């Protein structure tokens, strides 16, 4: 019982898939072959941005985006706690501090009003205004004397959870007022829309994932950064290959090995041919769920705000309590419909 039926999808694209893979086996450019650039061009134009930089995973896309913004120790990065670990992990990995901002319960995405409060609290260093992290992951040299934690507000990473874009009009206006960079975590939302714009184009940098179960999935790991900014695109391109300069043995900054495999690009090109059609079909299926699940049957169905279009990476139900949740999951299972808890809280780390 697969959560996403990749076998049925494969039957639809088998001919093109085989052709694309065969082409890679023939030219043999397994690293940064022509399929990578072709995919970047197609997706940049689909998302509606100037530049796309393919990379090894959605996590690397987020990491490269933060590195391109020069995020590090002493920097506060606002994000939502309701997400996959990657979003916060990459912030900590760079020595910056995640500042968690609660969600809007109607959409499950970061609440712009609370983002505003969290920025104010951070600037005033007053956790009475909004809960703040107790200590930065690594205090900046010469700052944070005594118990005061002096973090610089630098960036916000909204997550388009379950495929629904966050409220970017409100987020952008707050970010511009406060000099924050916006990195859109579009790992789940490629194909979604917000006010006629495509997910991936809604921040200064958009980051998506090609993990097999994502709306556009490869047959392995993959990811991509999107931006309209020429300078950022060039920096991302450099970070992706060990901070390369004019060639890969001239290293002008610290980077990573973050390339997308040519074979995955070839797979994604075959899948992209039917992607727009799949996105349309997801609308029909989700509409059917919503109609059939609507009251009085009572788990809460997702609401999509006006002007937004979800790509339904997941169709989520909110149960009243754990008892109701268990019953719903049992019923679904009996009908052969897979369901999982997004995201389970499995105890707490003892540190
Ligand atoms: C899947 C996911 C990621 C990470 O993508 P990978 O390709 O698995 O590294 C990041 N953020 C969110 C919200 C995700 O769902």
Q: What is the pLDDT of residues 184-220, one digit of tens each?
A: 999 999 999 999 999 999 999 999 999 999 999 999 9
Q: How many CB atoms lie within 10 A of CB 328?
A: 18
Amino acid 1: pLDDT:
60
User: What residue has token string 């897979």?
Assistant: 338
The token pair at 137 is 């992951």
Range 323-347 average pLDDT: 90
Nearest-CA residue for ligand 1 atom 6 is 58
Rounded (to 5) percent helix, strand, coil in the chain: 40, 15, 45
What's the pLDDT tens digit per position in 123-156? 999 999 999 998 655 555 555 444 446 899 999 9
Q: What is the pLDDT of residue 250?
A: 92
Task: Establish whether residue 211 lines the binding site of ligand 1, counting it when its CB lies within 6 angstroms of any ligand atom.
Answer: yes
Q: Is the CB of 158 under 6 A from ligand 1?
A: no
How far apart are the CA of 107 and the centre of ligand 1, in A? Answer: 19
Judged by average pLDDT, the poorest of 2-6, 95-99, 306-310 is 2-6
Q: Which of 57, 66, 84 to mutate to test the pocket of ligand 1 (most atoms within 8 A of CB)?
A: 84
Kindly tell me if the per-residue pLDDT of 310 is higher than 70: yes
* pLDDT > 90: percent of the chain: 88
Average pLDDT over residues 214-231: 98
- For the cut 90, the answer to whether the pLDDT of residue 295 exceeds it is no
The first and second tokens of residue 38, run together, are 């072709």
H or E stretch at 142: none
Q: How confident is the model at residue 5, as a pLDDT?
A: 86
C-beta of 162 in contact with ligand 1 (< 6 A): no
| Rounded CA separation 209/57 (Å) | 6
What is the pairing mode between strands 152-157 and 181-185?
parallel
Q: Please tell me if the CB atom of residue 258 comes closer than 6 angstroms to any atom of ligand 1.
A: no
Q: Does 293 or 31 have the greater pLDDT score?
A: 31
Q: Quote the crossing angle between the two packed helices 34-47 and 262-272, to the nearest 10°.
A: 40
Residue 86: CB within 6 Å of ligand 1? yes
Assess whether pLDDT exceeds 60 at residue 349: no
Q: Report the SS3 class of residue 307.
A: coil
Structure tokens at 28: 């043999």
Q: Per-residue pLDDT averaged across 165-190, rounded? A: 98
pLDDT at 106: 96
CA of 144 to the centre of ligand 1 (A): 32
Q: What is the mean pLDDT of the chain?
A: 93
C-alpha 59 to ligand 1 mean position (Å): 6
- Given pLDDT bands bounded at 50, 70 and 90, which one contains residue 115? very high
Tell me the C-alpha distance between 47 and 200, whole Å: 6
Helix (H, G, I), strand (E, B) or coil at 70: coil
Residue 347 has pLDDT above 70, yes or no: no
Residue 3 pLDDT exceeds 90: no
Cα-based torsion angle of the residue sequence 98, 207, 212, 315 in order, rounded to the nearest 10 degrees:
70
- Note the pLDDT of residue 298: 76
- Show the DSSP H helices in 273-336 as ranges: 275-293, 322-334
Q: pTM for this one?
A: 0.95
> What's the pLDDT at 346?
76
296-to-291, 292, 331 alpha-carbon distances in Å: 11, 10, 16
- How far apart CA 320 and CA 151 sit, in angstroms, is 38
Of the residues 3, 109, 187, 191, which should be mutated to test ligand 1's pocket, given the most ligand atoms within 8 Å of the CB? 187
Give the whole-number percent of the chain exceeding pLDDT 70. Answer: 93
Instruction: State the DSSP H helix or E strand holding residue 216, giving kind and residue range, or none if neither.
Output: none
Q: For ligand 1, what atom is nearest to the CA of residue 159? A: 13
The Cα 298–Cα 280 span in angstroms is 27
Per-residue pLDDT, averaged over 240-255, amounts to 93
> Does the pLDDT at position 351 exceed 70?
no
Residue 147: per-residue pLDDT: 43
Ligand 1 neighbourhood includes 189 CB (under 6 angstroms): no
- Ligand 1 in contact with 206 (CB < 6 A)? no
Instruction: Name which of 34-38, 133-137, 279-283 the model is least confident about.
Output: 133-137
Q: Locate the ligand 1 atom nearest the alpha carbon of residue 221 and give its number.
A: 7
- The answer to whether 157 and 78 have CB atoms below 8 angstroms apart is yes
Are the CB atoms for 207 and 187 separated by under 8 Å? yes
């Amino acid at each position: 019982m697969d959560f996403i039926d990749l076998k049925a999808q494969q039957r639809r694209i088998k001919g093109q898939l085989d052709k694309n893979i065969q082409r890679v086996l023939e030219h043999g450019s397994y690293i940064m072959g022509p399929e990578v650039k072709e995919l970047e061009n197609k997706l940049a134009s689909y998302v509606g941005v100037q530049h796309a930089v393919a990379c090894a995973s959605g996590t690397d896309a987020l990491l490269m985006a933060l590195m391109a913004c020069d995020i590090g120790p002493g920097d506060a990065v606002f994000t939502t706690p309701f997400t996959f670990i990657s979003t916060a992990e990459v912030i900590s990995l760079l020595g910056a501090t995640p500042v968690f901002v609660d969600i809007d319960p109607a959409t499950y995405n970061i609440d712009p009003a609370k983002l505003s409060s969290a920025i104010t609290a951070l600037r005033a260093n007053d956790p009475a205004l909004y809960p703040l992290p107790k200590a930065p992951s690594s205090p900046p040299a010469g700052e944070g004397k005594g118990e005061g934690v002096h973090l610089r507000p630098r960036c916000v990473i909204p997550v388009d959870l379950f495929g629904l874009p966050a409220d970017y009009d409100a987020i952008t206006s707050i970010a511009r007022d406060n000099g924050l960079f916006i990195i859109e975590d579009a790992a789940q939302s490629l194909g979604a829309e917000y006010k006629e714009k495509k997910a991936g184009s809604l921040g200064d940098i958009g980051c998506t994932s090609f993990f097999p179960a994502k709306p556009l999935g490869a047959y392995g790991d993959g990811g991509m950064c999107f931006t309209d900014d020429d300078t950022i695109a060039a920096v991302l391109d450099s970070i992706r290959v060990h901070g390369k300069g004019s060639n890969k043995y001239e290293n002008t900054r610290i980077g990573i090995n973050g390339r997308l495999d040519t074979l995955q690009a070839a797979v994604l090109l075959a899948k992209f041919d039917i992607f727009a059609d799949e996105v349309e079909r997801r609308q029909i299926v989700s509409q059917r769920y919503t109609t059939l699940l609507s009251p009085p049957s009572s788990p809460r169905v997702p609401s999509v705000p006006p002007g937004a279009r979800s790509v339904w990476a997941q169709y989520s139900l909110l149960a009243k309590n754990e008892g109701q949740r268990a019953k719903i999951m049992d019923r679904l299972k009996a009908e052969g419909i897979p369901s999982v808890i997004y995201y389970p809280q499995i105890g707490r780390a003892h540190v």
